Structure 1
């Protein structure tokens, strides 16, 4: 055990800690966290409009008040999930600039301007009452504002801010105003030239890109060569298992795996969940994604990462020597807070509990993915929901269907069965140690 701990301390923990503190990943993570209230209300608005209950559907479609509710929910979706990329580029740029102790607001404004002019400025529309499409200027397509542009938002937010910060450190480009000038004005003018150069460089880049790619825009290319392949890999059984192993492997060595993985999981899963929400909101015939949105929160991270709720039930059944964990961890676990058990039992670097801590999520991930893929359980149709939503309830809210709650219940039972032998083994080891 000591050799194992020494190996982890020397070869794993330092690199994992650096990964968790990497400023660009932290900027993306914090941007997604800041967007949580908007994605939650947008998701619930979509969920209400698409609940699989005939009475509710008829009320929203036929009743005057119900139509108003549906219209309000549609407006909320349009102002949240439909412009998610626009919100993300602001958050990423702001957080990255602040990490360099630079003007976050100015950097965010520059990144937003770049994000807009790297998207198409014309679109083909069919005016009301017309039969032919008209190509007009100034029609911003939602595809370049929503989930299909999330990768563009991250790239533009990071690169434009990096360039702005680097140019701002060149003394020859910084304008120094007289002391009599108000500080707010002085700060704005100080980085005037770096801001202008950043915009100009990206504008030239956009023009060159369109000319060498026969009119393709940045979002089109990113989705073709990065977004679609990554989404395809993520929305697969292998991708689901890989994410589960990554998160729980980090937890096992004492790092907050969920937070460290957030820049990756939020970018990919939130996109797929928002895609599902958009398909439902627009009535599209496109197939829904299986691994999407709060898939893990609803079906795997019940009681927190590691299905701690299942471990606590197993301890209640067989863990006589660790009843203290029930008092310490049950209330937090109801709201998916797992730290009291992970560090109090402990699970960290403790193979007897670490093994089922990893096995249970992997098994339930496989069960959940296959259940949704096969059609036994309704897919997730929201982009996100509060991670503190209690188990089973979260399964229903994520899918809008009772089958989601049933799947969550089955997964808890599976986790209890997996944890029980290890709890019994830990009890025998504790009894032997006490006897000696």
Structure 2
């Protein structure tokens, strides 16, 4: 299998991975590792209380009822503005690939993104003890700034940077100041017209788009188009496989798959979960009447360590990798509690051709095994809601109403995930070793010359 991948898949994947736009996206997301790390730990610490009640009691006893405020503030300063950071970083990296200094490009891209964001939001105010709801100007919902809008941010950042860089190469658009003007001022004025034109173009395009779509903003339209094929989904194995694929295909290019599809999956899973809870409360023993994809189905059986079942990858790295012990040390603690941004952006998995194959295929395999096991009655259906940070195996046990079959299923899936990731870990080690030998030989040749 590894020979087949190296011979037929790897060459095309390397070419794909060297695309300047994909490199800009990947490098920008990797550069945000400190933001994603601290945000992940903040989410972890704040949500542990739901999974471990004694921990919550201890934190309340030490810090009071507001002990989650610090974690909430850190989340707000990191994940709540994830798209803003991505727009700036991608624009900078892409501009640098064109030998531009990148400073003006990232500011122009950010401005181009903001001109496409709604300026009005619904606000509820209490006046004389009566709540009044209406549109208010100057408010931006964080759904247009966090990872939900990441696809829009990436597209706008790439397009705005391309337009700006190309306009900046048009000679008659460049303003040249006398030699006595300070260099910083001269550089700013040199790209004044290209920056103004770029922002104007995106502002005009956004206005025309809203006119053509009856007031719909670009981000809302893109989300609607992406999730529209899933609107008629049902509790079936084909839908489960399709959902697992799309979630991880989005993640593969740096988009938060669960958030993008959340408008469809959350109502569906909630409805099916409530149906199962009602059946269990009524004492119904016929498991065929229960829904399979109910409530926290994915959290309990598929997202073992987070999207992609990356806890299996961390264990495989721990067993077979000598060069990635630090990423295991950083990723294992949050990974146990289903938080895997440090692995997704730190390894990285996002836009990494080698890791994308097991990252997408593993959850699909786990989805199939879990669905079939529940459908034929080997594993009890999900009948309770659990926090998404509940550790693997424990989550399967609790989600099925404290049935041992749920824990066994989650454990089997964890072993399957390790088995799938292990060959790719070994292959990556061979590739790294080969690169080191080639680099060493090249350095020795240069020294001899």
TM-score under structure 2 length normalisation: 0.62
Distance 1:214-1:397 versus aligned 2 partners, 3 A rule:
farther
Distance 1:157-1:49 versus aligned 2 partners, 3 A rule:
same
Q: Which shows bigger deviation, 36-45 or 328-337? A: 328-337
Residue by residue over 1:374-412, the C-alpha shift from the partner in whole angstroms, topping out at 9 and shown as x without a partner, is 549987847xxxxxxxxxx9859999x999998775445
Gaps of 5+ in 1: 245-260, 280-284, 313-324, 338-348, 350-355, 383-392, 421-436
- Say whether residues 1:215 and 2:215 are aligned partners: yes
Distance 1:189-1:74 versus aligned 2 partners, 3 A rule:
same
Q: Partner of 2:306 in structure 1?
A: 294
Mapped to 1, the partners of 2:212 and 2:174 lie a distance apart of: 34
Please tell me whether the aligned partners of residues 317 and 325 of structure 2 are also in contact (alpha carbons under 8 angstroms): no
Offset, 1:184: 2.0
- Secondary structure in 2 matching 1:267: coil
Q: Partner of 2:136 in structure 1?
A: 136
Q: Partner of 1:203 in structure 2?
A: 203
Mapped to 2, the partners of 1:232 and 1:171 lie a distance apart of: 53
Mapped to 2, the partners of 1:135 and 1:237 lie a distance apart of: 40
Q: Partner of 2:255 in structure 1?
A: 267
Offset, 1:102: 1.2
Q: Partner of 2:281 in structure 1?
A: none
- Secondary structure in 2 matching 1:197: helix
- Say whether residues 1:177 and 2:185 are aligned partners: no
Mapped to 2, the partners of 1:46 and 1:196 lie a distance apart of: 40
Mapped to 1, the partners of 2:123 and 2:380 lie a distance apart of: 36
Please tell me whether the aligned partners of residues 83 and 146 of structure 2 are also in contact (alpha carbons under 8 angstroms): yes
Please tell me whether the aligned partners of residues 237 and 369 of structure 1 are also in contact (alpha carbons under 8 angstroms): no
Of 4, 12, 16, which aligns to 1:15?
Answer: 12
- Secondary structure in 1 matching 2:125: coil
Q: Partner of 1:389 in structure 2?
A: none
- Secondary structure in 1 matching 2:180: coil
- Say whether residues 1:121 and 2:119 are aligned partners: yes
TM-score under structure 1 length normalisation: 0.63
Mapped to 1, the partners of 2:232 and 2:97 lie a distance apart of: 33
Q: Which shows bigger deviation, 105-114 or 171-180? A: 171-180
Mapped to 2, the partners of 1:208 and 1:28 lie a distance apart of: 28
- Secondary structure in 2 matching 1:177: coil
Mapped to 1, the partners of 2:121 and 2:421 lie a distance apart of: 56
Mapped to 2, the partners of 1:357 and 1:219 lie a distance apart of: 27
Mapped to 2, the partners of 1:268 and 1:87 lie a distance apart of: 15
Mapped to 1, the partners of 2:23 and 2:388 lie a distance apart of: 27
**CA RMSD across the alignment:** 5.1
Distance 1:33-1:185 versus aligned 2 partners, 3 A rule:
same
Q: Partner of 1:82 in structure 2?
A: 80
Distance 1:218-1:31 versus aligned 2 partners, 3 A rule:
same
Offset, 1:226: 2.5
Mapped to 1, the partners of 2:135 and 2:99 lie a distance apart of: 44
- Say whether residues 1:147 and 2:147 are aligned partners: yes
Superposition pairs of residues 30-429 of structure 1, within 5 angstroms: 30-50=27-47, 51-52=49-50, 53-58=52-57, 63=61, 65-128=63-126, 130-226=130-226, 236-238=240-242, 240=244, 264-269=252-257, 271=259, 290=298, 294-296=306-308, 298-303=310-315, 307=316, 363-364=365-366, 366-367=368-369, 375=382, 381=388, 395=392, 410-411=412-413, 413-414=415-416
Distance 1:27-1:148 versus aligned 2 partners, 3 A rule:
same
Q: How many residues align?
A: 350
Please tell me whether the aligned partners of residues 46 and 73 of structure 1 are also in contact (alpha carbons under 8 angstroms): yes
Offset, 1:55: 3.1
Gaps of 5+ in 2: 268-273, 275-293, 333-353, 423-449
- Secondary structure in 2 matching 1:136: strand
Mapped to 1, the partners of 2:145 and 2:221 lie a distance apart of: 15
Mapped to 2, the partners of 1:417 and 1:8 lie a distance apart of: 19
Please tell me whether the aligned partners of residues 29 and 262 of structure 1 are also in contact (alpha carbons under 8 angstroms): no
Mapped to 2, the partners of 1:59 and 1:218 lie a distance apart of: 46
- Secondary structure in 2 matching 1:80: helix
- Secondary structure in 2 matching 1:176: coil
Mapped to 1, the partners of 2:101 and 2:419 lie a distance apart of: 53
Offset, 1:288: 6.2
Distance 1:14-1:329 versus aligned 2 partners, 3 A rule:
closer
Mapped to 2, the partners of 1:397 and 1:97 lie a distance apart of: 47
Please tell me whether the aligned partners of residues 28 and 263 of structure 1 are also in contact (alpha carbons under 8 angstroms): no
Distance 1:45-1:65 versus aligned 2 partners, 3 A rule:
same
Mapped to 2, the partners of 1:74 and 1:333 lie a distance apart of: 25
- Secondary structure in 1 matching 2:255: helix
- Secondary structure in 2 matching 1:295: coil
Please tell me whether the aligned partners of residues 123 and 140 of structure 1 are also in contact (alpha carbons under 8 angstroms): yes
Q: Partner of 1:426 in structure 2?
A: none
